[in-house]
Chains A and B, each alone.
Chain A
Amino acid sequence: MKSKLQKINENMWRLPKSVRPGMRVDAMILANAQALDMIENEAIEQLTNVAMLPGVVEPVMAMPDAHWGYGLPMGAVGAFDPENEGVISSGMTGFDINCGINLVRTNLTPKEVQAKLRELVDESFKTIPCGVGAKGKLHLEKDDLNNCLKDGMKWALSKGFGVQEDLDNTEEGGSMAGGDPSKVSELALKRAKKQLGTLGSGNHFLEFQEVAEVYDQEMAKKWGIEKGKVCFMVHCGSRGLGHQIATDYLKIHEEAAKRYNIILPDRQLACAPINSQEGQDYYKAMVCAVNYSFTNRLVITHWMREVFERIFNKRWQELGLQTVYGLAHNICKKEMHIINGQEKEVYVHRKGATRSFPDIPVLIAGSMGTSSWLLKGTKEAMTTTFGSTAHGAGRVLSRKAATQKYAGGAVEREMIAKGRIVKAANMRVLAEEAPGAYKDVDAIIETVDSANVSKKVAKLIPMGVIKG
């Protein structure tokens, strides 16, 4: 399929709908030569599957970090028109609903943090439950859980977590409208009770970072970012609640697809018409997971402020621990976009993709030990990628291949040799998440920056990492 790509320019490739019978629209790939080289053929084939679904809006988009995923590749965007039989899909949103990132700034210099880094990493590891089997510290009763799912960070604020500015600096204000807990299964609700404020495992992390370079002084200043200061980044999702909602609706959508005569080119693309009961029920349940996940990262941020207060003996406000931004990179959203010259509402599935709206912060995480990035969204993204950009580095090795190639201990030693501290719940996760298992994030950033889909603001390099 890769051989059939048509070059539009240095950063954009078209896969015309003529390459496969049944495709309703073209697919586009945003990638420079280096990034394209790292995208597997199978991921490109998956775009053609999505392009066959009813109501799909041209084009199905792959981001430069795209890699094979379940149904829709990770690093891809699929928009659907509700007025033209468009569908909504649990599989296209992904199992970890609102997996995302928060970036928090500090007034501290790398020297000040370096002097207490071991203490900071150990205390954070002790404070934030992480890893498989870690126990949550909050146990939510029914009413609190329902309010958390409906109101997200607004509920958390009323319970003493965070401040209004945290909500102001979060996508959807941390409280996405339209959530209905009655559309969430009992099993999913039970999973949510004890997991608020937990990091999880796998590629999730908490990282202390140095602002190594600033590319856009004006935006950096506006967002409180300064070269030579320290930030921390939290990457996690909606935990078991999101996983269960995705699992439940995958089955519901499989049946719905049959009922509405939707031909599924891939079982993981199970979907329902947006304007059906099954479609709207999923949306309402998904919003609950979105709100839970925003709240999860806020609770972690709140506890991290307390960690900084204990280590540096100052109030978090004095230490300047303000949220720069918090966002989702697995989500389905109702948004207004220009389609065939007319503005209309479409449902945009971003799976492993970040919203990139003009002058709004974008966060792209690197693999462990490589740089992460703060960028700004652009007008160009609104016309080329449904206001979307990349989300991370993207895997090149399976977890099994990574554990065969790398040893957790060696990965840790390599990090220490670079003056960084890494702490993980177990060594295996370090091998699975070894930097060599991921693509070069800088090549991804070069693509989105030169294509003007999002512009570089600051480069963040890791100092200490906590892996679940």
Chain B
Amino acid sequence: MKEYEFVDDLTSDVLFVAYGKDVNELFVNSAKAMFDIICEIVPATEEVSFEIEAKDLENLLYLYLSRLLAEYEINELFFSEFQVEISGNKLNAKALGSEADPKQGKTQVKAVTMYKFGIKKTDEGYEATVSCDI
């Protein structure tokens, strides 16, 4: 199964579709796609953990990706590995990476947007569509 792919949506800054056989994998692959926009793959030497709660799965994904944007800036880390454990509407997350270096930086993501944002159940598992403001 593909992890994610970027879709050329002329009117959006960057739009990707991420896949997962279960929701945990879907969230991890969404995070990988977003950090593929932001930076090169870096060694996972440091980690950040956090918990999130939301009213439904879609909101959980929006808050998770938005939180990762905040955490990488606050901790000045680029992330390349992600661990997610979802139970109901709660999420425990760990993001691993190393000290941010502009030489390994690609493009800044300002925010995750609601444009075409959504999660779909498919025959193979789940599919998320995410559009990022650059």
Contact = CB atoms under 8 A, between A and B. Distances in A.
Interface string A125-138: 00000111111000
Given A187-B67, A268-B115, A399 B102 contact: no
B10 A191 contact: no
A84 interface: no
A430 to B, nearest CB: 12
A191 B70 contact: yes
A153 B20 CA distance: 48
Interface residues of B, number: 39
Nearest to B59: A251
A374 interface: no
Contacts of B13: 398-399
A71 to B, nearest CB: 8
B107 A70 contact: no
A244 interface: yes
A228 interface: no
Contact of A240 (B63, B70, B102, B106): B70
Interface stretch (A142-150, A194-202, A318-326): A194-202
A132 B107 contact: yes
A312 B110 CA distance: 36
A250 B65 CA distance: 14
A246 B105 contact: no
B48 interface: no
Nearest to B104: A133
B34 interface: no
Given A132-B39, A428-B107, A398 B12 contact: yes
A308 interface: no
A95 B115 CA distance: 13
B73 A398 contact: no
A468 interface: yes
* 4 nearest A-B residue pairs (beta carbon): A132-B105, A133-B100, A201-B108, A131-B102
B46 interface: no
A244 B70 contact: yes
B133 A70 contact: yes
Nearest to A203: B134
Contacts of A134: 100, 102, 105
Contact of B107 (A201, A251, A267): A201
A246 B69 CA distance: 13
Interface of B is mostly: mixed
A270 B114 contact: yes
Interface string A90-133: 01000110000000000000000000000000000000001111
A131 B39 CA distance: 11
A26 B103 CA distance: 48
A468 B106 CA distance: 10
Interface string A438-468: 0000000000000000000000000000001
Contacts of A70: 113-115, 133
Q: On chain A, which size bracket covers the interface?
A: 35 or more
Nearest to B38: A132
B106 A132 contact: yes
A96 B134 CA distance: 10
Nearest to B65: A247
Given A95-B133, A202-B108, A400 B70 contact: no
Contacts of A202: 107-108, 110, 134
Contacts of B10: 40, 397-398, 401
A272 to B, nearest CB: 15
B126 interface: no
B22 interface: no
Contact of B11 (A267, A398, A468): A398
B101 interface: yes
Given A133-B101, A268-B113, A268-B114, A190 B74 contact: yes
A284 to B, nearest CB: 20
Nearest to A132: B105
Nearest to A240: B73
A96 B110 contact: yes
A262 interface: no
A250 B13 CA distance: 18
Interface string A222-250: 00000000000000000010011011001
A429 interface: yes
A247 B110 CA distance: 9
11 contacts: A70-B114, A91-B114, A95-B113, A133-B101, A133-B102, A188-B70, A243-B69, A267-B114, A267-B117, A399-B13, A432-B134
A329 to B, nearest CB: 15
B67 to A, nearest CB: 7
Given A201-B107, A426-B102, 13 more contacts: A70-B114, A95-B111, A133-B101, A135-B100, A187-B74, A190-B70, A190-B74, A191-B73, A246-B111, A268-B113, A268-B114, A398-B11, A426-B106
Interface string A397-412: 1111100000000000
B108 to A, nearest CB: 4
Given A398-B11, A398-B12, A133 B76 contact: yes
A397 B11 CA distance: 8
B133 A251 contact: no
Interface string B88-114: 000000000000111111111011111
A399 B73 contact: no
